[in-house]
Structure 1
Amino acid sequence: MILETIVTTQDTDGSVHIAPMGVHQWGNGIIILPFRPSRTLDNLLASQVAVVNAVDDVRIFAGCLTGRRNWPLVPAEKVAGRRLRDALAHTELTLVRREDDPIRPKLYFRPVHQVNHAPFAGFNRAQFAVLEAAILVSRLDRLPWEKIESELAYLKIGLEKTAGPREYEAWGWLMEKIEYFKQLQGVT
């Protein structure tokens, strides 16, 4: 199963990188498959730790994909890293094994600390729409434009029926990113 999360990593100078990432469950552990090249991969290999954050504020997913990465952080408790202050839950991880790959190395992590901070009420259709749109934005350079357009049209239905201010704000950030990409690519 893949869980849509926010992964926080730290580089050797202490700078934190916040990235949305689908992580895979592996028994009691987590597999993270970052693409090469990526700051997340560099940080994971250097520090050998990560924090997986469960959030319900979809602005964090959209924000990270649109250059808005300044989300409040607090220190992790058992690993040298930081977590999102407003996470509903977080899991602190240590690297136990890695399988190299030229595109997406497979990194196996063992949880060393897990905390639930607040209950998860579930996602409504607008939150789901923003998450799916964020995934599309992360793949703009790999998907046919027709697929992106058709999926966005479908996702917009749920957004318009159930969105609150946070979801509309996140959707707007993603649509700006898509429009900018279209301009760069000459898509009409």
Structure 2
Amino acid sequence: MNEAQVIDSLERLGFPEKCIVETILITRNKDGSYSAAPMGVTRNGSTLIVRPFKSTQTFTNLSHGGSASINLSDNSRLFLATAFKEDVEEQPSVDESGLEGADATIQTETGEMFNKSELRASFSLTPWDIKIKSPHPTVFSRGRSEAIEAIIHATRIQVFNEEGRDSEVQTLIGKVRDNIDVIKKVSSEESREYIVAEKLLSLIKKWGVPI
């Protein structure tokens, strides 16, 4: 795949530029077995960036270079199983082709380590193949999810505010703040969800509700 094809494919899969989306990353252990773990991924052009904690097996494996696969799914059971392997008995199959049950798998080559801090480090991953396994695969975005949830809360804020249900309004305001905090953490200012967040803030203020 050339760079233009990679960018086009990533955009179709729901990778916005400079936004964090949630995936399941598979890396190879020293003994040849595979390790799967939930991992936030940021797209920078045709390159994907991950930032694992240095205490994890993922960090160790990426430090040795080689290949890694990024697996897309909105199946919460897959995220649970790969996040808590010791506590979830039913585990998906993992091999060089990717994660069983994933909607799509992006095969990548591990590049340089950078932005190393006390707790974490960043790695660049270069995609070289993308396998679509579902008719309509798309990556899971916390930002997009939080934006939709914030909109739902805001519709209730408007109604409850008009009805004078102040305590319920304040509860919902707290939830919207949490939604927007996540959006501003994982999404770029140019993203749709960031723009939605700013619009919701202005609407809530317009209704006379402090936020």
- What TM-score results when the alignment is normalised by the length of structure 2? 0.52
Runs of 5+ consecutive residues of structure 1 not aligned to the other structure: 77-82, 130-149, 156-188
In our comparison, the structure showing a higher alpha carbon Rg is 2
SS at match of 1:13: coil
Specify every segment of 5 or more residues in structure 2 that has no aligned partner in the other structure, as ranges: 1-18, 147-173, 180-211
Q: Given the superposition, is the C-alpha separation of residues 26 and 73 from structure 1 closer, same or farther in structure 2, using an over 3 Å criterion?
A: same
Correspondence for 2:128: 112
Task: Answer whether contact 2:72 2:139 (CA < 8 A) is retained.
Answer: no
Equivalent residue, structure 2, for 1:94: 109
Residue 15 to residue 122, structure 1, CA distance change in 2 (3 Å): closer
Checking the alignment, whether the CA contact within 8 Å between 2:49 and 2:125 is kept in structure 1 is yes
Partner of 1:85: 100
1:18, 1:64 within 8 Å by CA — same for their partners in 2? yes
Aligned to 1:172: none
**Distance in 1 of aligned mates of 2:48 and 2:109:** 10
1:55: how far off? 1.1
User: Paired residues, what number?
Assistant: 124
Query: What do the CA deviations read for 1:81-122 (whole angstroms, capped 9, x no partner)?
Result: xx1022111111112221133221110111111111112378
SS in 1 for 2:82: helix
Distance verdict in 2 for CA 1:17–1:106, change over 3 Å:
same
Equivalent residues of 1:10, 1:47 under 8 A apart = no
Q: Structure 1 or 2: larger strand share? A: 1
State whether residues 32 and 108 of structure 1, in contact with CA within 8 Å, keep that contact through their aligned partners in structure 2.
yes
Residues 27 and 36 in structure 2, CA contact (< 8 A), matched pair in contact too: yes
User: Which residue does the alignment assign to 2:49?
Assistant: 31
Where do residues 85-164 of structure 1 align in structure 2 (5 Å cutoff)? 85-99=100-114, 100-118=116-134, 119-120=136-137
TM-score by length of 1: 0.58
- Alpha-carbon distance in structure 2 between the residues aligned to 1:101 and 1:48: 22
- CA–CA separation in structure 2 for the residues paired with 1:73 and 1:107: 22
Q: Given the alignment, which residue of 75, 78, 84 partners 2:96?
A: 75
Superposed displacement of residue 20, structure 1: 0.5
Paired letter, 1:50: A
1:18–1:122 Cα change, 3 Å: closer
1:31 is paired with a residue whose SS is: strand
Map of 1:53 onto structure 2: 71
Deviation at 1:59, TM superposition (A): 0.5
Say what the alpha-carbon RMSD is for the aligned residues: 2.7
Question: Partner of 1:64: helix, strand, or coil?
Answer: helix
Alpha-carbon distance between aligned partners in 2 of 1:111 and 1:93, rounded to the nearest angstrom: 4
Q: Distance in 2 between matches of 1:3 and 1:90?
A: 14
CA distance in 2, matches of 1:75, 1:32: 19
